[in-house]
Structure 1
Amino acid sequence: MDTQPHTRLRSENRRCKIAILSRGDAASRREATPQNSRFVRVFEALAASGIAAVPVVYDETFADAVRDQLLTMDGVLVWVDPIHQGKTRAALDPLLREVAAKGPWVSAHPDVILKMGVKDVLYRTRHLGWGADTHRYATVDAFRAEFPSRLRAGGPRVLKQNRGNGGQGVWKVETVPKTDATIRVLHALRGSQPEEMPLADFMARCEQYFGWGGCIIDQAFQPRLPEGMIRCYVSAAKVAGFGHQLIKALIPPPPQGPDSPEAQPGPRIMHGPDAPQFQALRRLMEDEWIPQMMAALTIDETSLPVIWDADFLYGPRDADGADTYVLCEINASSCFAIPDEAPAAIAQTVRDRIGRNMASVR
C-alpha cells in the first residue's frame, strides 16, 4: 500500500499546474506572486499537496493574454465577484467556458454558478428544509402585477437581484402605515439610509435588475436578522468551516448615522468544521441539503465548486425551541475570506479533481 499520497501525486503530476484567477489591473498582473496574494494560504496548501499554482490576474483589457495563459493550465480556480466597481463577469464567463471546453477544468464553472451561485437558487430550492416564503419575478410585467399585493398581504419583504454581491440590489421593502401607496425601503449596501417613496417609483428603480440578472427574487423578511448570519463554507460536498457575523445590512442605522461605528457590522468570527455550536447545521448540509440541492439543480458532486458558501439567517424556532435556518444566499463566484481550515480542504478537493482527470485521460 502506498502510504505517501502526496509523493505519488508529485511523481504523477510533475507538470500539473493550477491557476488562481482574480481581478486586477495591469500593474497587479505584472507584480502578482503567490506570496503577495490574498490567497497565499491557498497557494501554500496546494504546494504542500504537491500541486503547483500560479496567480493569474484578469481584466477585460488584457483578456486575450489571460485566455492564452489559462489554456496552458490543468485547472483554474476562480475568485471574481459578479459585480466589482461597475464591472461584471459578462466577458469573463464566456472566456472561462471556452477554456473549460478546451481541456482545463474550471471551478467554479460559470454554468454551475448560474445554477447555484445566483439568487434564483432560493426559488428553485424553496422546497428544501432551508427554504422560506419565496417568489420569483421573471419579467417586469410579472413584477408589476404580483409584488404590490404580496407586499400588502404578507409584511416586510426582501427583494434581491439575481446576480450581485456586497448587498448590491438587495432591498427590504415594507408598507408605511395609514398610507395607500407609500413604502419604506432600505438598501443592503453599506451606508444606506431608509427611504420613503411611492411604490411605483421604487418598482421602476428595480426594473434594471431584469437586464443583467434576468429576474428578481422575493423573500419574506426574517425578524431574527439582528441575531446574525451564519456562513457555512463548503468544499465540494463537505463542510470546511463556519463564520458567524452580526450583520447590519437591512437593519435601520442608529441615530449616530450609517457611517458611525455603531452602524458597522461586527467581525466575522471564523470556526472550523467541528465547531460544536454548528454541528446540527453541518449534519443538515452534508446529509440532506447539499444532496437535495444537487438533485434539484442537476449538479454532480465533481462539478461543485472547490470552495463555496451558504449564508443562513435564523428562522423561527421549532416546537422544541431549537433553531431553524433560512438560506439567504449562496456564494460561488468569489468565496473569500475563508476559515483557517479551508485551504487544506480546497487542496484536498483539487487533488481529487486532478486524480479524476488523470484517470479519464488514461
Structure 2
Amino acid sequence: GVIKTGNVCVPIYYVPALHDTFATAAKAFDGIIVRINPGQLSGEDQTAFDGLMRDCIALGIPVWSSPDVQIQMGAKDALCKIANLNCGLPDTLAYYDNDTFITGFKKTMAYQPRVIKQNRGSSGEGIWIIKLKEKEYCAHYGDASLEDSDMLDMMEANDNHQEFHTVGEFIEWCINGRPGGKCDAWTSKGTGAYLAGGKEAGGQVIDQRFCPRIVEGEVRVLTSGPTCLQLIHKKPAEGGISAVLGTGSTYTFYGPDEPKYADLKRKLFDEDLPKIM
C-alpha cells in the first residue's frame, strides 16, 4: 500500500550488535513501519529498540506502530475487557499474582480444556492449549480443583509442539520458568516466568476456555477505523491448532465485502465496535 501511493520502502533488519548503525539509518527516513513483534527480541534488546523508536518519534518521524501503542494494545488482559462482546469469551480471567493464578487455574482446568496465555509477545510462544491427560472434568465450574500431581496434555501455539507435565510443573513454569532451575525437561523454545515483575512490568497470565472449532481456523479483520479493508482466513496445518505464521498454516485473503463473513462483520462493526471506539 505504501509503495502504491508512490513512496519507496527499504527493508532494514535490526541487529542488536549494530544498534548504533541502525539508529543512524532509521533517523534518515521519513517514516518507519515496525515489523518486530513484542517479545521477539530479548529484554535488553527490546528496551534498546523501543527507546530508539521513541527517539525517532521525538524527532517527528512517524513510527507505525509505536512501542507504547504496541504495549497498550497488545496487553493480553484486553481480552478481559472485551469478554462480554460478540468477539469475546465471558469466562476470560486475568491473573497478576502467583496465588490468584494457582487457585484460579486449578479450578478452571478441572472444569474444561483451557488456553493459557502469557502477556508478552504475539508469535504464539507462551500460549498453551491445555487438556487433562487422564482425569475426568468436573460437571460444573467450581465443583473441583486439581492437585499438583494431575497430568496435563499441552500444546504450544508458536510451533504446535506437545508436552506432558503435571499441574505443579506447569505452575512452576509459569511462575519461575527456566531461571528457577526446575524446568530443564521442558522442550518449549520459551523461558516461562510469565508473572515475573508483576502487573506493572507486564507480568500476567490470561485464562480462557478452549474453542475446539479453532481447527477450522480464525478470521483476521483488517480495519481503518470503522471501515473493513480486508478479511484473512487463517487455517492451522492439519493436526495443528495454531494459525501463527511459521506453523504451516494456510492464509486465504478476501475482500471487505465477502458474503460468507457478512454476519461476522455485522456483529463486529455494528454491535461491538461502537462499544469500543
The answer to whether TM tops 0.5 is: yes
TM-score normalised according to structure 1 size:
0.58
Deviation at 1:168, TM superposition (A): 0.8
Are the aligned partners of 1:160 and 1:217 in contact in 2 as well (CA < 8 Å)? yes
Residue 59 in structure 1 maps to residue 15 in structure 2? yes
1:105-148 Cα shifts (integer Å, max 9, x gaps): 22111111122223222123223221102000112232123221
From 79, 86, 101, the equivalent of 1:129 is 86
Are the aligned partners of 2:124 and 2:157 in contact in 1 as well (CA < 8 Å)? yes
Are the aligned partners of 1:171 and 1:250 in contact in 2 as well (CA < 8 Å)? no
From 167, 172, 195, the equivalent of 1:204 is 172
Q: Specify whether residues 278 and 289 from structure 1 end up closer, same or farther in structure 2 by C-alpha distance, changes over 3 A only.
A: same
CA distance in 1, matches of 2:241, 2:221: 26
Residue 148 in structure 1 maps to residue 106 in structure 2? yes
Q: Which residue of 2 aligns with 1:95?
A: 52
Deviation at 1:266, TM superposition (A): 4.7
Q: Structure 2: 5+ residue runs without aligned partners? A: 137-145, 176-192
Which letter does structure 2 place at the counterpart of 1:192? Answer: H
Equivalent positions of 1:20-59 (< 5 A) are: 42-47=1-6, 51-59=7-15
SS of equivalent to 2:130: strand
Deviation at 1:265, TM superposition (A): 4.6
Are the aligned partners of 1:82 and 1:164 in contact in 2 as well (CA < 8 Å)? yes
SS of equivalent to 2:93: strand
TM-score normalised according to structure 2 size:
0.74
How many residues align? The count is 238
Are the aligned partners of 1:193 and 1:252 in contact in 2 as well (CA < 8 Å)? no
SS of equivalent to 1:268: strand
Residue 75 in structure 1 maps to residue 44 in structure 2? no
Residue 139 in structure 1 maps to residue 108 in structure 2? no
CA distance in 2, matches of 1:250, 1:159: 20
Which letter does structure 1 place at the counterpart of 2:269? Answer: E
What percentage of aligned pairs have identical amino acids? Answer: 29
Deviation at 1:285, TM superposition (A): 3.1
Q: Structure 1: 5+ residue runs without aligned partners? A: 1-41, 254-263, 295-362
From 273, 276, 294, the equivalent of 2:256 is 273
Deviation at 1:158, TM superposition (A): 0.5
**Runs ≥4 residues deviating over 6 A:** none
CA distance in 2, matches of 1:138, 1:246: 32
Which letter does structure 2 place at the counterpart of 1:45? Answer: K
Structure that is richer in strand per residue: 1
Which letter does structure 2 place at the counterpart of 1:169? Answer: G
Q: Specify whether residues 200 and 115 from structure 1 end up closer, same or farther in structure 2 by C-alpha distance, changes over 3 A only.
A: same
Are the aligned partners of 1:187 and 1:250 in contact in 2 as well (CA < 8 Å)? no
Are the aligned partners of 2:118 and 2:204 in contact in 1 as well (CA < 8 Å)? yes
Are the aligned partners of 1:229 and 1:246 in contact in 2 as well (CA < 8 Å)? yes
CA distance in 2, matches of 1:82, 1:218: 20
SS of equivalent to 1:72: coil
SS of equivalent to 1:234: strand
Equivalent positions of 1:255-270 (< 5 A) are: 265-270=248-253
